[in-house]
Structure 1
Amino acid sequence: MALSLDTLGPDSNVASLQRPDSAMPPESRLEMPTQSLRRWSSSQERKPTVQHPRLRTSLARLFVFGGGLLLTAYGTYEMYQVVSVSRTTILQWVLVALFTVNFSWIAVAFTSALLGFFVLLHQPESRSGAPSSLSQRTAIVMPVYNEQTSRTFAALEAIYESIEATGLGAHFDYFILSDTTQPDAWVAEERAFLALKARLGSNARFYYRHRAKNYHRKAGNIADFVTRWGGHYEHMLVLDADSLMTGECITRLAAAMEADPDAGIIQSLPLIINRNTLFARVQQFAARVTGPVIATGLAVWMGRDGNYWGHNAIIRTKAFAAHGGLPDLKGKPPLGGHILSHDFVEAAFLRRAGWSVYMLPDLGGSYEESPPSLIDLSARDRRWCQGNLQHSRVIGAKGLKLPTRQHFATGIMSYLASPFWLFQLIVGIALVLQTTYIRPEYFARDFRLYPIWPRFDPERALALFALTMGILLAPKIFGLILMLLRGKDRRASGGGIRLIVSSLIEIVLSALLAPILMLIQSGSVFQILLGRDTGWQPQRRDDGSIPLNDIIRRHRSHTVLGVLAGLSAFMIATSLFLWMSPTILGLLLAIPLSWLSGQLGAGLALKKLGLLMTPEEHEPPSIATRANELQVRNTAFGFDDADSLRALFEDGALRERHVDMLPLEAPRKRGAIETERALAEAKLTDAETIEDAIAWLHPKERMVVLHDRALLDRLMHLKRTPPAGIQAAE
């Protein structure tokens, strides 16, 4: 008989638990061939089962890209008029070119958001509930990588309970797919899994698998599941470690997939919740206000040529197996090797093969979390930057749909925009410097009768600046208007006045952080182009602040640059200083802004005042409340704080289950000496007590021991450390 949810406490021994039948179900393999970037024939594309109307999508694309093109043409013309008061110099032409690139980027974002605003303005809120029945099976998979089990297992258990409440739980199985490389985190996962199985019983169909080597990281983790167990399931729903989805949302996604035989991937729109630091609350508020506008615009013009964000989406398993196998890019990282931002590429290959990929932005009940500080965001952003720049090697792949290439171009440009902006600032400074200090050339070699002296039209420049700022801020204004018009959302966000004040706070903080992010992203681009590879560090998901020394170290160069830019601009021209003042101020305040943004107290103070509030904070989703309750309970078990070797040494049943879950060992090649294994074996030979082993074995050596049945057996034959009194007597 399964134990109740709260029976298992932190002092419970695994020996008392119901022994699970198996950590994983029997394998049902699917072939997952590696896709080619160079070879593709239209004959390989499947024909749609149902003819889907495309007129609405075509008109939406005409509006977004046609409108963006017209706006860009107008902006470029105005910029040319600004610099062509006199004969235009080379630097001025460079400025016009950089402006055109940057302006085109924000112009398309504006028209897409405008489309989303119009649609949401006339679209009634979705009120449909969970489906009454399903006919196919879905695997809910959560890849984890050195995460806190108290958080991830609480989320998965809350999702399970929510799905069970719909009455459709029999159609779903749950998989924790571990790529964890830290020994304590690995054993904590196993203990949390065994405890979960003991509480819920085998009928809950939870499974756990740990990979010995995290080959190809998350993409490889999912591919390993698909090729070995994917044959059991028509669909898989992919989560992140910080994902939460209600049972209604998941069952509606499954029903949508069943109803659409041409769907390969259906993406939901995750809202950010559970955030309390100032930086994270700003992100949470901005995503709640502006996110639906942007996502709806994207969904309308993308149509069935959509994209995949890597989580909170349902996927047709056999289609993914047939067309989602990623190739390695030629050359070494950072631009070669395995593809980091795999989700865009997987969607591209499925779309190439004739499967539809689209988003349901109005589907509620999909949630995620965000990095707690600017530094945490920049660490994640560095990996995303490398992954998106790798797409420059994929964008020309044969057979890709034109919208797919546009998705890749958008992702690449989202990072190249920062160095383009930086170059535009540098060229602008150089032009003002040239105008102020360099004497005009009155007698040029081509015998012109007037000097070459760059001049500007200040009135047009001011009007163009106002237009640019308006286009940048428009999506935020659109989202604010919609929130103000919707009484329920307005009241849940603190009322109209607080909502407007919150938007102003978000705009000001975003404007101050923008130049810092510009330099961070520009640095990432330059590092990647110079051949520096990024790692794959686990994301920090707590609300803890970063030590001030680390903040100073990360931002001191930004502050110095702000001082130099401010002094130089002021010495060149007062007008230049005023023009650059937002950028200068953001850089000068980089250290205090970064420190303040990561502070829990600052975020909670605004929350107490009712500022930066979202409807999900005013009335938390029941699944989020339940997940938080389960996390508190899981934390009390102490699995995340325990030493892995000690836990296995002291609990024979846990050790037995750990060994049962290990994959079969590949025979060691004769004469091949593995350094970590040799060191681990030597240290265990010298050790007399478990305390010796704990003190001497380094993390990599511990991982070897945890994977090796023979070394584990040697570990178990060590003595316990005698009590202090006995040691003293001896």
Structure 2
Amino acid sequence: TATQAIGHVTLHARAQQFASRVTGRLFTLGMQFWQLGESHYWGHNAIIRVQPFMEHCALAPIKGTGGMSGGIMSHDFVEAALMRRAGYHVWLCADLVGSYEQQPPDLLAELTRDRRWCQGNLQNARLMAEPGLHSVHRAMFVTGTMAYVSAPLWLAFLTLGTALWLTGSSLLGNFNVLPMELVGLWLWTLCLLFLPRILGIAAVMLRGEQRQYGGFLGLLKSSALESALAIVQAPVRMIAHSLFVVVALTGLKLDWKSPPREANAVPWSDAARALAPMSLVVMALALGIALIDPSALIWLMPVGLPLLLAIPLTVLTSQIGMGTTLRDRGFLLIPEESRSPAVLRRAWMHAVRLARPALATA
């Protein structure tokens, strides 16, 4: 089943929660359409036939040393592939609702989770040649790997492009030789970035659900806020994912600890400790580029400025007050916040009961 994020209060997590509801449904339906009985699951949202699972899904450690060996971290993708190899179908059911989860509440917690996901997906790349696997599952191993390898590729593209600019070199003798191809590249890039969001809004409107998202204007302004936040956080994710890939490929081990799900504002000291080295390097590079060709900074600003502001961006988007204030003003609303299903009401009731003894002891 497709899990749905719920119960978030920070701006960062609420943006993720909103995006998963508006665009995530189309994403899930698309995977269901293309994967059919060769799908996968996400570890905690599966209805499993226990006996076949026990017979065919025992996971041996990957041989070797370093970060690409050892226990399989992204076990769910591998287990789904092994179930299909054994002759059982694995279906993603987009129409089964009621599967909820919580996302990391802030950017640092998200990156902690992504480090494990990155190493797990890179591990799975070693299993692509495993005998008997269905071609769809092999393709999913490839796409899972590229989800993180694309980050250093993007970084290399930016680095090479900047170097060519500063040295006065050009990949084309005449920049106007292939104008339509360059325009087409930009248009396809914009489509990949924004078309899923536009289609998600259209799907909400066609189903007449816009009132559950704060009305049509509320849906539009929430989508704009989520898109803007995703754009400014993308360079930080690019640098972090690039480092994760390097760490995994160079043989460094990773001990997995589940990231926090409770909403706690990120202290400035923690954000600075994690992100200051990156911001300082970017600042030094910006000063060097300014000495050579200040005009290049204008083109690099969409990537460089979020990296320079990564620390305050991380701290501010982790603030509970900012998230709740925007919620009260109709931003990033989801249907469950206006009418909670019975399963959620019961879950929250039990959570309150379990929390009372701990509070009394404290």
Q: CA RMSD in A?
A: 2.0
Which residue, out of 297, 300, 308, partners 1:588? Answer: 308
Give how far 1:575 is off: 5.5
Tell me the distance in 1 between the aligned counterparts of 2:360 and 2:252: 33
C-alpha contact (below 8 Å) 1:293/1:479 kept by paired residues: yes
Q: What is residue 269 of structure 1 aligned with on the other side?
A: 2
Which protein is richer in strand relative to its size? 1
Tell me the distance in 1 between the aligned counterparts of 2:162 and 2:251: 29
Q: What is residue 606 of structure 1 aligned with on the other side?
A: 326
For the residue of structure 2 that corresponds to 1:357, the secondary structure is coil
For the residue of structure 1 that corresponds to 2:48, the secondary structure is strand
C-alpha contact (below 8 Å) 1:269/1:363 kept by paired residues: yes
Tell me the distance in 1 between the aligned counterparts of 2:326 and 2:179: 39
- What letter matches 2:339 in structure 1? E
Tell me the distance in 1 between the aligned counterparts of 2:251 and 2:220: 45
- Scaled by the length of structure 1, the TM-score of the pair is 0.48
Cα distance change, pair 565–625 in 1 and its aligned pair in 2 (3 A): farther
C-alpha contact (below 8 Å) 2:266/2:314 kept by paired residues: no
Cα distance change, pair 532–639 in 1 and its aligned pair in 2 (3 A): farther
- Scaled by the length of structure 2, the TM-score of the pair is 0.94
C-alpha contact (below 8 Å) 1:431/1:454 kept by paired residues: no
Tell me the distance in 1 between the aligned counterparts of 2:295 and 2:191: 21
- What letter matches 1:466 in structure 2? L
Which residue, out of 264, 267, 274, partners 1:554? Answer: 274
Tell me the distance in 2 between the aligned counterparts of 1:555 and 1:309: 29
Tell me the distance in 2 between the aligned counterparts of 1:415 and 1:339: 17
Pick the structure with greater CA Rg. Answer: 1
Tell me the distance in 1 between the aligned counterparts of 2:334 and 2:179: 40
Which residue, out of 454, 461, 486, partners 2:207? Answer: 486
Residue 155 of structure 2 corresponds to residue 422 of structure 1: yes
Cα distance change, pair 433–328 in 1 and its aligned pair in 2 (3 A): same
Which residue, out of 80, 84, 91, partners 1:351? Answer: 84
For the residue of structure 1 that corresponds to 2:84, the secondary structure is helix
Q: What is residue 28 of structure 1 aligned with on the other side?
A: none
User: CA offsets, 1:288-312, max 9 Å, x none?
Assistant: 0110111100110101111121111
Which residue, out of 306, 317, 335, partners 1:615? Answer: 335
Give how far 1:573 is off: 4.4
Cα distance change, pair 548–388 in 1 and its aligned pair in 2 (3 A): same
Q: Which deviates the most, 326-335 or 542-551?
A: 326-335
C-alpha contact (below 8 Å) 1:561/1:587 kept by paired residues: no
For the residue of structure 2 that corresponds to 1:518, the secondary structure is helix
Q: What is residue 470 of structure 1 aligned with on the other side?
A: 191
- What letter matches 1:387 in structure 2? G
Where does 1:208-219 land on structure 2 (aligned, <5 Å)? none
Give how far 1:550 is off: 0.7
Give how far 1:485 is off: 2.5
C-alpha contact (below 8 Å) 1:606/1:612 kept by paired residues: yes
C-alpha contact (below 8 Å) 1:323/1:349 kept by paired residues: yes
Q: What is residue 375 of structure 1 aligned with on the other side?
A: 108
Q: What is residue 526 of structure 1 aligned with on the other side?
A: 246
Tell me the distance in 2 between the aligned counterparts of 1:468 and 1:481: 20
Q: What is residue 349 of structure 2 aligned with on the other side?
A: 629
Q: What is residue 384 of structure 1 aligned with on the other side?
A: 117
Tell me the distance in 2 between the aligned counterparts of 1:327 and 1:535: 18
For the residue of structure 2 that corresponds to 1:335, the secondary structure is coil
Cα distance change, pair 515–640 in 1 and its aligned pair in 2 (3 A): farther
Give how far 1:320 is off: 0.4
Tell me the distance in 1 between the aligned counterparts of 2:248 and 2:61: 17
C-alpha contact (below 8 Å) 1:435/1:454 kept by paired residues: no
Give how far 1:572 is off: 4.6
Where does 1:196-211 land on structure 2 (aligned, <5 Å)? none
Give how far 1:574 is off: 5.6
- What letter matches 2:307 in structure 1? L
Q: Which deviates the most, 467-476 or 377-386?
A: 467-476
C-alpha contact (below 8 Å) 1:565/1:584 kept by paired residues: no
Q: Which deviates the most, 423-432 or 578-587?
A: 578-587
Which protein is richer in helix relative to its size? 2
Tell me the distance in 1 between the aligned counterparts of 2:336 and 2:195: 24
User: CA offsets, 1:331-363, max 9 Å, x none?
Assistant: 124111111111111111110111001111121
C-alpha contact (below 8 Å) 2:67/2:247 kept by paired residues: no
Residue 141 of structure 2 corresponds to residue 408 of structure 1: yes
Tell me the distance in 2 between the aligned counterparts of 1:641 and 1:279: 32
Where does 1:238-253 land on structure 2 (aligned, <5 Å)? none
- What letter matches 1:555 in structure 2? L
Residue 23 of structure 2 corresponds to residue 278 of structure 1: no
Tell me the distance in 1 between the aligned counterparts of 2:84 and 2:52: 10
Q: What is residue 507 of structure 1 aligned with on the other side?
A: 227
Tell me the distance in 1 between the aligned counterparts of 2:244 and 2:136: 27
Give how far 1:376 is off: 0.4
- What letter matches 1:576 in structure 2? A
Give how far 1:531 is off: 1.3
Cα distance change, pair 462–435 in 1 and its aligned pair in 2 (3 A): farther
Tell me the distance in 2 between the aligned counterparts of 1:496 and 1:639: 41
Q: What is residue 70 of structure 2 aligned with on the other side?
A: 337
Cα distance change, pair 403–476 in 1 and its aligned pair in 2 (3 A): same
Give how far 1:561 is off: 3.2
Cα distance change, pair 300–572 in 1 and its aligned pair in 2 (3 A): farther
User: CA offsets, 1:312-343, max 9 Å, x none?
Assistant: 11011111011111111111241111111111
Q: What is residue 456 of structure 1 aligned with on the other side?
A: 175
Q: Which deviates the most, 287-296 or 561-570?
A: 561-570
Give how far 1:466 is off: 3.4
- Tell me, which stretches of 5 or more residues in structure 2 are unaligned? none
User: CA offsets, 1:362-420, max 9 Å, x none?
Assistant: 21111111000000011111111111110121111011110010011111111101001
Tell me the distance in 2 between the aligned counterparts of 1:467 and 1:565: 30
C-alpha contact (below 8 Å) 1:435/1:453 kept by paired residues: no
Cα distance change, pair 471–453 in 1 and its aligned pair in 2 (3 A): closer
Tell me the distance in 2 between the aligned counterparts of 1:367 and 1:604: 20
Give how far 1:562 is off: 3.1
C-alpha contact (below 8 Å) 2:116/2:256 kept by paired residues: yes
C-alpha contact (below 8 Å) 1:334/1:532 kept by paired residues: yes
Cα distance change, pair 422–386 in 1 and its aligned pair in 2 (3 A): same
User: CA offsets, 1:169-205, max 9 Å, x none?
Assistant: xxxxxxxxxxxxxxxxxxxxxxxxxxxxxxxxxxxxx
For the residue of structure 1 that corresponds to 2:168, the secondary structure is helix
Cα distance change, pair 338–641 in 1 and its aligned pair in 2 (3 A): farther
C-alpha contact (below 8 Å) 1:348/1:404 kept by paired residues: yes
Tell me the distance in 2 between the aligned counterparts of 1:484 and 1:585: 35
- Tell me, which stretches of 5 or more residues in structure 1 are unaligned? 1-267, 441-451, 643-730
Q: What is residue 132 of structure 2 aligned with on the other side?
A: 399
Give how far 1:279 is off: 0.5
Q: What is residue 540 of structure 1 aligned with on the other side?
A: 260
Give how far 1:627 is off: 1.7
Percent identity for Structure 1 against Structure 2:
39
C-alpha contact (below 8 Å) 2:66/2:250 kept by paired residues: no
Give how far 1:624 is off: 1.6
Give how far 1:569 is off: 4.5
Tell me the distance in 2 between the aligned counterparts of 1:279 and 1:459: 38
Q: Which deviates the most, 576-585 or 609-618?
A: 576-585
Tell me the distance in 1 between the aligned counterparts of 2:292 and 2:336: 49
- What letter matches 2:214 in structure 1? G
Which structure has more RCO (C-alpha within 8 Å, separation ≥ 6)? Answer: 2
Cα distance change, pair 479–333 in 1 and its aligned pair in 2 (3 A): same
Where does 1:47-446 land on structure 2 (aligned, <5 Å)? 268-435=1-168
